[in-house]
A and B are shown apart, each in its own frame.
Chain A
């Protein structure tokens, strides 16, 4: 067999100044920004397990990407291409079909790729492994196990990357932004969404999308309801929906899409011994995106499952100063520092979880929070050692199913040497 002249001139690297695990928006942005900051002498390597880098946007062929980070509006695959191109132009090595399967040391990674099994030693590791939707079993939805039950991720893969038909009548479980994204994908595949089922008072996504949903997509939203069983053998024939009053009915369908309900892909973080936050289930991080493991950083939806791709990408720039500092001084702080943030129900999580009130602010000066109930005009309080140290009334609602943002200046009056700060709705 003749080897084309353009085939790998060099073997895949076994050492890099920075290894970024995951080639989605946050990982690619971090890699590009780090390559620029560290200069051409440094090796920045992105390891991505898919055939092509770009992450979830590559699977999501609809518009709305790139607003906050690129200041333009792109479709998902185009956005993914821009980020890959930018990283390569910055000198980043983007290696695809390369899966990190474990750790061989504090900052050494075991990698499986068609080019071989190897260990890559890194000066710093940036985890950008993202998040996935909980599938039906993780949501404890009983019944038989027929074909036709998909997550949004699988649906988008089938339709956008494989151009496959999916069915004729779909029920979408969830009312998040991604749920509407699933409806759009279904429509593109010629499948009608006959019901959207959400446990909340209303569909959680933005008002405009809800309006679009009602007027253009004409999807009936069954609020305060849940799917309690899936029917059908071989193929889905329907779902049993229970409403708030406990009444049940069967909605016939041949496709069920479970949407939202995110869990970070935290396998590497856990197996590396990083402390995780119980709320996000991603690594515990400070405003510099340091984790509890020296020289290991984390960015993107691994930390806040799940925010939009552009917000994930912005983490990729946020991480740069801390990584550069770590690489520059062997005995640097490396590990996270600041006061610990906690939340009270109905808030589920906050990211980052450690912030130094006197230190650098988190990305875009925002704390990211998740709520389990709808609050029209939320007033958020920060409480430290029994004292309210900050209050913000927000002009936007706190809605389940999407991140809501609170200016990190709410912490300005917190004492850097004080106790934990609890964020709550007043």
Chain B
């Protein structure tokens, strides 16, 4: 997005606040700050927002019932649950209020349930109830044998992580923020009034810098002279099952957490699939997003016990995401007045739920540092994001919409029922896709069971023509 200056050198961008990282957290922070009288830029290494950790997680809107009471994370997740829920309603981000059921498979797990209910209360969440084995099977008849009891979490929900980041970044742009894609930060040089960020896309000067770089937050922290923590990429592999499996998982089925982490869950997705995962494996390589035979075997073993009939269904896709794990187990939110720099590190999978609360917290940190972050009274209305969730009305099923624009009646991705109109809209949007993955996240094109058998070639042509190849003759 850099515009070359007449001299041929990339222009230098000057802003009040540069947010490094265009994930869900960075986008939320940029949106919040752009709502004040501040010039804001998202500085993102990749070619799209939400292309790192934010794109590959379990996409749960957490109540925070199982957080560690008293942590910053626990408070921000609980707040963020409501803030993001409201924002989702305003913008049309798909959310389904399915609820969750935590299932005990052993005596040891069964006796842990009252403690978990008490922990939820200490986190300010009072709605959990302990239920019998019979009630567990009533709620999820397809569970494998051996469940002894459960704990309900009625407000745990599923959300679209892709739409969330895109909605936040789109709102940030509407409020005046700039999104600088393909700007990988390579150096941070102090200046009298801030920092000059050297990036692969040109220089960015900022009075304040917010580091929301996710997996790379430790590296960026180092550029500001700190040596505080190391981010360990924790790989989580997941299976996504065919939509025909969705009746098997009417709600989120959680394991009883152990010292080794939250364990493997079975969850519906807002796209109508069923997800099994994640694994948890600490790695050294921050780019290791491949899946593994060992991961598959582990998930298969777990999955066949939790829900044996799941593996009678087809696997639509598999993926791996990397969480940004840090020692200490809490968010690292700190201001450095000398360098005019704020660290937003250690944001794990709960960061999706907490993102807007984190943004408010960061605004608070900047306010305490002397920045005026008061919201303007002329904020634009929040954007409406195209619905890619199964629970809402999708364009292919919207008779009125097709009647006014036949492109919404032209299904181009048969499995996901994506229409030519939606693909066109994606390219016409504030943050158009630059690659197939970006197009997938905006429309679901190519995400279906055939994985391109029917639509792959059309999808590639659509990407190269910004949707025009699909529209040609769409109204015939």
B474 adjacent to A135 (CB under 8 Å): no
Q: List the A residue with the shortest CB-CB distance to B316.
A: A137
A158 adjacent to B456 (CB under 8 Å): yes
List, in ascending order, chain B residues with CB within 8 A of A161's CB: 457
A114 adjacent to B456 (CB under 8 Å): no
A112 adjacent to B397 (CB under 8 Å): yes
A99 adjacent to B399 (CB under 8 Å): no
List, in ascending order, chain B residues with CB within 8 A of A228's CB: 293
Q: CB within 8 A of A154: which of B317, B403, B453?
A: B453
A233 adjacent to B402 (CB under 8 Å): no
List, in ascending order, chain B residues with CB within 8 A of A133's CB: 453
| Contact A114/B409 with A143-B291, A144-B290 known, Cβ cut-off 8 Å | yes
Q: List the A residue with the shortest CB-CB distance to B415.
A: A267
A142 adjacent to B291 (CB under 8 Å): yes
Q: CB within 8 A of B451: which of A114, A116, A136?
A: A136
A154 adjacent to B293 (CB under 8 Å): no
Query: Cβ of B68 < 8 Å from any Cβ of A?
Result: no
What's the nearest-Cβ distance from chain B to residue A311, in Å? Answer: 21
Q: CB within 8 A of B456: which of A134, A157, A233?
A: A157
CA of A210 to CA of B461, assembled, Å: 35
Compute the total of residue contacts between A and B using a CB distance below 8 Å. 129
Q: List the A residue with the shortest CB-CB distance to B450.
A: A132
CA of A233 to CA of B403, assembled, Å: 43
List, in ascending order, chain B residues with CB within 8 A of A415's CB: none
B452 adjacent to A162 (CB under 8 Å): no
List, in ascending order, chain B residues with CB within 8 A of A154's CB: 452-454, 456-457
List, in ascending order, chain B residues with CB within 8 A of A136's CB: 451
CA of A118 to CA of B399, assembled, Å: 8
List, in ascending order, chain A residues with CB within 8 A of B199's CB: none
B454 adjacent to A132 (CB under 8 Å): yes
Map CB proximity to B onto A293-329 as digits: 1 under 8 Å, 0 otherwise: 0000000000000000000000000000000000000
List, in ascending order, chain A residues with CB within 8 A of B461's CB: 162
CA of A157 to CA of B459, assembled, Å: 11
List, in ascending order, chain B residues with CB within 8 A of A132's CB: 449-450, 453-454
Query: Cβ of B191 < 8 Å from any Cβ of A?
Result: no
| Contact A99/B453 with A113-B409, A116-B399 known, Cβ cut-off 8 Å | no
A158 adjacent to B397 (CB under 8 Å): no
What's the nearest-Cβ distance from chain A to residue B212, in Å? Answer: 24
List, in ascending order, chain A residues with CB within 8 A of B457's CB: 154, 157-158, 161-162, 164
CA of A154 to CA of B415, assembled, Å: 14
In A210-239, the 8 Å CB interface with B consists of 228-229, 233
Query: Cβ of A383 < 8 Å from any Cβ of B?
Result: no
List, in ascending order, chain B residues with CB within 8 A of A118's CB: 399
Q: List the A residue with the shortest CB-CB distance to B419.
A: A112
Q: List the B residue with the shortest CB-CB distance to A139.
A: B315
Map CB proximity to B onto A127-150 as digits: 1 under 8 Å, 0 otherwise: 000001111111010111101001
What's the nearest-Cβ distance from chain A to residue B172, in Å? Answer: 28
A112 adjacent to B411 (CB under 8 Å): yes
A142 adjacent to B295 (CB under 8 Å): yes
Q: List the A residue with the shortest CB-CB distance to B293.
A: A142
In B240-296, the 8 Å CB interface with A consists of 240, 243-244, 287, 289-293, 295-296
CA of A165 to CA of B151, assembled, Å: 55
B460 adjacent to A162 (CB under 8 Å): yes
CA of A228 to CA of B397, assembled, Å: 40
Map CB proximity to B onto A229-257 as digits: 1 under 8 Å, 0 otherwise: 10001000000000000000000000000
B474 adjacent to A114 (CB under 8 Å): yes
List, in ascending order, chain A residues with CB within 8 A of B293's CB: 142, 228-229
Q: CB within 8 A of B410: which of A101, A114, A140, A229?
A: A114
List, in ascending order, chain B residues with CB within 8 A of A233's CB: 287, 290
Q: CB within 8 A of B402: which of A112, A140, A145, A151?
A: A112
CA of A143 to CA of B292, assembled, Å: 6
What's the nearest-Cβ distance from chain B to residue A111, in Å? Answer: 9
CA of A244 to CA of B295, assembled, Å: 22
Q: CB within 8 A of B411: which of A99, A164, A267?
A: A99
Query: Cβ of B319 < 8 Å from any Cβ of A?
Result: yes
List, in ascending order, chain A residues with CB within 8 A of B243's CB: 267
Map CB proximity to B onto A241-284 as digits: 1 under 8 Å, 0 otherwise: 00000000000000000000001000100110000000000000
B244 adjacent to A140 (CB under 8 Å): no
| Contact A116/B453 with A49-B414, A97-B410, A142-B295 known, Cβ cut-off 8 Å | no
CA of A1 to CA of B50, assembled, Å: 42
Query: Cβ of A117 < 8 Å from any Cβ of B?
Result: yes
B452 adjacent to A151 (CB under 8 Å): yes
List, in ascending order, chain A residues with CB within 8 A of B458's CB: 157, 162
Query: Cβ of B227 < 8 Å from any Cβ of A?
Result: no
What's the nearest-Cβ distance from chain A to residue B403, in Å? Answer: 6
Q: List the A residue with the shortest CB-CB distance to B243.
A: A267
Query: Cβ of B108 < 8 Å from any Cβ of A?
Result: no
A267 adjacent to B409 (CB under 8 Å): no
What's the nearest-Cβ distance from chain B to residue A95, in Å? Answer: 12
| Contact A114/B452 with A138-B315, A142-B293, A164-B457 known, Cβ cut-off 8 Å | no
| Contact A116/B411 with A132-B454, A140-B296 known, Cβ cut-off 8 Å | no
List, in ascending order, chain B residues with CB within 8 A of A147's CB: 436
CA of A162 to CA of B470, assembled, Å: 13
Query: Cβ of A77 < 8 Å from any Cβ of B?
Result: no
List, in ascending order, chain A residues with CB within 8 A of B436's CB: 147
In B437-458, the 8 Å CB interface with A consists of 449-454, 456-458
Q: List the B residue with the shortest CB-CB distance to A231.
A: B290
Query: Cβ of B417 < 8 Å from any Cβ of A?
Result: yes
Q: List the B residue with the shortest CB-CB distance to A146.
A: B290
Q: CB within 8 A of B397: which of A97, A101, A134, A229?
A: A101
List, in ascending order, chain B residues with CB within 8 A of A357's CB: none
CA of A153 to CA of B451, assembled, Å: 10
List, in ascending order, chain B residues with CB within 8 A of A99's CB: 396, 411, 414, 417
What's the nearest-Cβ distance from chain B to residue A337, in Å? Answer: 27
In A25-51, the 8 Å CB interface with B consists of 49-51
B398 adjacent to A153 (CB under 8 Å): no
List, in ascending order, chain B residues with CB within 8 A of A97's CB: 409-411, 474, 476
| Contact A137/B317 with A117-B409, A162-B460 known, Cβ cut-off 8 Å | yes
CA of A136 to CA of B316, assembled, Å: 9
CA of A228 to CA of B290, assembled, Å: 13
Q: CB within 8 A of B453: which of A112, A135, A145?
A: A135
A135 adjacent to B409 (CB under 8 Å): no
List, in ascending order, chain A residues with CB within 8 A of B377's CB: none
List, in ascending order, chain B residues with CB within 8 A of A115's CB: 406, 409
CA of A138 to CA of B292, assembled, Å: 14
List, in ascending order, chain A residues with CB within 8 A of B397's CB: 101, 110, 112, 117
B450 adjacent to A114 (CB under 8 Å): no
Map CB proximity to A onto B298-315 as digits: 1 under 8 Å, 0 otherwise: 000000000000000011
B417 adjacent to A101 (CB under 8 Å): yes
Q: List the A residue with the shortest CB-CB distance to B454.
A: A153
Going nearest first, the 9 A-B pairs with the smallest beta carbon separation are A135-B451, A157-B457, A144-B290, A153-B453, A114-B406, A154-B456, A117-B399, A142-B291, A114-B409
**Pairs across A and B, CB under 8 Å, 24 listed:** A97-B474, A112-B402, A113-B410, A114-B410, A114-B474, A114-B475, A117-B398, A117-B399, A132-B449, A135-B451, A136-B451, A137-B451, A142-B292, A142-B296, A144-B290, A150-B452, A153-B450, A157-B458, A158-B456, A161-B457, A162-B461, A267-B243, A267-B244, A271-B244
Apart from A97-B410, A267-B244: 20 A-B pairs, beta carbons within 8 A? A99-B411, A101-B396, A110-B397, A112-B419, A113-B409, A114-B476, A115-B409, A116-B409, A117-B399, A132-B454, A142-B292, A142-B293, A144-B289, A151-B452, A151-B456, A153-B454, A154-B457, A158-B457, A158-B460, A229-B293
Interface residues of chain A, those whose CB is within 8 Å of chain B, are 49-51, 97, 99, 101, 110, 112-118, 132-138, 140, 142-145, 147, 150-151, 153-154, 157-158, 161-162, 164, 228-229, 233, 263, 267, 270-271
